[in-house]
Amino acid sequence: MARYSAIFAVTIIFCILAGPVSSFTASDYKDAISKAILFFEGQRSGKLPVSQRVKWRGDSALIDGKIENVNLIGGYYDAGDNVKFGWPMAFSLTLLSWAAVEYPTEISSANQLLHLQRAIRWGTNFLTRAHISSTTLYTQVGDGNVDHQCWERPEDMDTPRTLYKITSNSPGSEVAAEVAAAFASASIVFKKIDSNYSTKLLRRSKSLFAFADKYRGSYQASCPFYCSYSGYQDELLWAAAWLYKAGGGNNYLNYASSNQGWSQVASEFSWDNKFAGAQTLLAKEFLNGKSNLEKFKNDADSFTCALMPGSSSIQIKTTPGGLLYTRDSSNLQYVTGATMVLFMYSKVLEAAGKGGVTCGSVTFSTSNIKAFAKSQVDYILGNNPLKMSYMVGFGSKYPTQLHHRASSIPSIYNHPTRVGCNDGYSSWYNSNNPNPNTHVGAIVGGPNSGDQFVDSRSDYSHSEPTTYMNAAFVGSVAALINQGKVEQSFQMPQLNKTTLYDRQSTKNISY
C-alpha cells in the first residue's frame, strides 16, 4: 500500500510540474516586456518629458521638497496612490538594472533597452537629488495616512507633501543601503553609454553604503505602509554585492564574506527581504572561485528548494492552478520576485557548469527550475484557470477596475475640471465602470489562494499595481524572450534511486 501511495504522490507531482503547455511565443514575451516597462511612464511624478508615451498623464507634484528648499521633483509613485516612497522605489530600480545587466541582448531584441534605461534614469535622477549629503537622504514625499484618505489625480493633488529623511541622528540602514544598491547596479547599466553618470552613481553608492553601515538603525519612517520586518542586514549584503559587481573594490566582497553569518534561508524575495538576491549574486562569486562564500551558495540552493513543487523542503505552496502563493496581500509581488531570482540563479548555475539543485531526495535540473519559473510568468499572462491576464492591456481579458487614482479618474486633458479629494471617491472610486484610462502594463496583486479574482477597484490587495511587481516581472519575462532555451513544460526531477516520495515528504504539496 505504501508503495502505491508513493507512486500516486509522484504522479500528482508530475501533473503539477507538467501543467498545461504554454502557447506564448517569443513575440508575446516581447509584447509583455514592452508593456511592463511602459507602465513606469504612467507612474512618473514631476515634469513629464517630451518623449512621454503615456498620454493620459500630466505634470504633477512640481513643488515637492520646496518646504525644505530641496528639489525633490520627479521619481515614481509607487502604487495606486500619490506618495513617493524611496525604499520600494530604490528596490524597483535595482531590479530594473539587474534585468538590464543580465539580459541586454534579449531586451534589445524587443527594442526596449532604451526605454528601460530611461525608466531607470528617471528614478536614479530623483534619488540623486534626494541624497543631499553624506549623512542625509530624503526617503519619502507625502503623508501616506492623509493621502490614503483622498482619491484624486496626482495632477490635482493638494494633500501635504510632507518630507521624511534619514540622518546620522535618525538612521535608516535599509533604505540607505537599498539606494546604494540601486546606484551601484545602475552604474553598470550606464557604464558604456554615459561614463560620467555611471561614475557619479558609483561614488554616491559608496557614500550611502558607508552611511548605512556606520549609522546602523532600522528604518520605520514609512510605516504603516512599508515597515521593516527582516531588518537591515539583508540590504547591507545586497548593497555590498552590487558594489563589488559594479567594480567598487574587493573590500565589498570581503565585507560580505566577513558578515555571511547574517545570511538567512529565505522563501521570498521582496522589497523588505533581499537575502535571496544577495545570495544569488554572491553564489556566483563562490562558483567563480571565491571559496569563502559557500554559505551564500547553500542558502541560494535552499531558496530554490523552498519554492519548487516536489521538493522535500518546500515552504511556499501553490494554488490549484499552479501559482506560488506566499500571502494574500499583493501576492504577485512575491511571485514575480521569486521568479526573477529563479531565472537569475539558473543562469548562474549554468555558467558555472552546474546541473541544478539537490533538495533532499530529489534533484531539480536548471531546466526544471526555469520551466517552473516560466509557468509563473505564463500564469500571470493568462495561462491560468480564469484564462485572464493579470497584466493590464495584455491579451483580451484583464483587470479593468485597477485600484489606481490616476487611472480611475478621467485624464486632465479630457476632464480639465479639478477633481477634489472627496469628489474622486463619490464620482469615480465607487463607480462600477471600467477605469477611463487603461494603465497598460500594470500588473495587479493577483488572484486569491483558490485562483479566483474579483475585478473590483476597492479590493486593493488584489487589484492594485506596484512598481516593484512590474520591475521583477521585467527581469522574469526578459529571460523568456529567447524562449528556445527554456523548456515548454516541466520534466520529472531526478529522484534518488533508493527513495520515492513518502507521505512525509509530500505532505506540504498543494494539489
Indicate the burial class of 14 (C-beta count within 10 angstroms; 0-12, 13-18, 19 or more). Answer: middle
Q: What pLDDT is recorded for position 291?
A: 85
- Considering the domain boundaries, does residue 440 fall inside one? no
Q: How confident is the model at residue 4 (pLDDT cuts 50, 70, 90)?
A: very low
**213: amino acid identity, one letter:** D
Scan for cell 534561508, then name that residue: 265
3-state DSSP call for residue 197? helix
pLDDT band (50, 70, 90) for residue 23: confident
Catalytic entry in 59, 143, 455, 502:
455
Q: Say how many C-beta atoms besides its own lie within 10 A of residue 397's C-beta.
A: 12
483 pLDDT tier (thresholds 50, 70, 90): confident
403, 404, 439, 462: the active-site residue: 403
For residue 259, CA distances in Å to 234, 238, 301 come to 10, 12, 19
At 315, list the grid cell.
Answer: 515552504
The three cell numbers of residue 245 are 559587481
Torsion region of 142: left, alpha or beta (phi above 0 gives left; psi -120 to 50 gives alpha): left
Does the residue 165 lie in any domain? Answer: yes
Instruction: Give the residue carrying C-alpha cell 482619491.
Output: 151
Active site residue 464: yes
Q: Which residues pair with 131 in a beta bridge?
A: 137
Which residues are within 8 A (CB) of 376 and not within 5 positions of it... i.e. 6 or more apart?
A: 323, 324, 335, 336, 338, 339, 476
**Angstrom distances, CA of residue 293 to CA of 233, 256, 358:** 16, 8, 19
CA distance 262 to 279: 11
pLDDT digits (tens, 9 = 90+) for 450-460: 999 999 999 99
pLDDT above 80: residue 9: no
Active site residue 148: no
Q: Is residue 364 part of a domain?
A: no
State the amino acid at position 32 in one-letter form: A
Return the DSSP state at 494. E
List the CATH number of the domain containing 151: 1.50.10.10
Contact between 90 and 181 under an 8 Å Cβ cutoff? The reply is yes
pLDDT tens digit string along 295-354? 999 999 999 999 999 999 999 999 999 999 999 999 999 999 999 999 999 999 999 999
Q: How many Cβ atoms sit within 10 Å of the Cβ of residue 25?
A: 10
Backbone φ/ψ region at 353: left (φ over 0), alpha (ψ -120 to 50), beta: left
pLDDT at 258 over 70: yes
The count of structural domains within the chain is 1
Domain-embedded: residue 141: yes
The pLDDT value given to residue 496? 41
122-157 residue pLDDT tens? 999 999 999 999 999 999 999 999 999 999 999 999
Question: Is the confidence at residue 2, as pLDDT, over 50?
Answer: no
Q: What is the rounded average pLDDT of the residues 103-113?
A: 98
Written as nine digits, the cell of 359 is 533538495
How many Å apart are CA 249 and CA 219, to the nearest integer?
A: 27
Whether residue 252 is predicted with pLDDT greater than 70 in this model: the reply is: yes
Q: What single-letter DSSP state applies at residue 114?
A: H
Cell (9 digits) for 148: 490614503
In angstroms, rounded to a whole number, what is the distance separating the alpha carbons of residues 179 and 209? Answer: 9
Burial class for 11, CB neighbours closer than 10 Å (0-12, 13-18, 19+):
exposed
By DSSP bridging, strand 136-141 and strand 163-167 are: antiparallel
- Which residues contact residue 106 at a Cβ distance below 8 angstroms, ignoring those fewer than 6 apart? 478, 479, 481, 482
Average pLDDT taken over every residue of the chain? 91
Q: Does any domain span residue 148?
A: yes
Rounded to a whole number of angstroms, the CA Rg of the chain reads: 22
Residue 253, in any domain of the structure: no
The answer to whether 81 is a known catalytic residue is: no
Q: In sequence order, which residues have a C-beta less than 8 Å from that of residue 135 and are 6 or more positions away?
A: 167, 168, 211, 215
Q: How far apart are CA 253 and CA 240, in angstroms?
A: 7
Which set of grid coordinates corresponds to residue 74?
520627479
**8 Å CB contact between 139 and 175:** yes
Phi, psi for 326 (deg, rounded to 5): -85, -55
Task: For residue 19, name the pLDDT band (cuts at 50, 70, 90).
Answer: very low
Domain region containing 219: 45-228
Please report how many Cα atoms fall inside a 13 Å half-sphere around the Cα of residue 395, on the Cβ side: 24
pLDDT at 417 over 70: yes
Q: What is the reported pLDDT for 500?
A: 27
**Can you tell me the distance from the alpha carbon of 210 to that of 136, in angstroms, rounded to the nearest whole number?**
12
Least confident of 55-59, 265-269, 494-498: 494-498
Instruction: Name the grid cell of 117.
Output: 534605461
167, part of any domain:
yes
The percentage of residues in the chain with a pLDDT greater than 70, rounded to a whole number, is: 90
Give the pLDDT of residue 484.
Answer: 55
What is the enclosing helix (H) or strand (E) of 212?
Answer: helix 195-214
Res 495 pLDDT > 60: no
Q: Is residue 480 part of a domain?
A: no
pLDDT tens for residues 371-384? Answer: 999 999 999 999 99
Kindly give the pairing relationship between strand 324-325 and strand 317-318: antiparallel
Region of 153 (left: φ > 0; alpha: ψ -120 to 50; beta: rest) is beta
Bond preceding residue 224 cis, omega within 30 of 0: yes
CA dist., res. 444 & res. 475, Å (int): 17
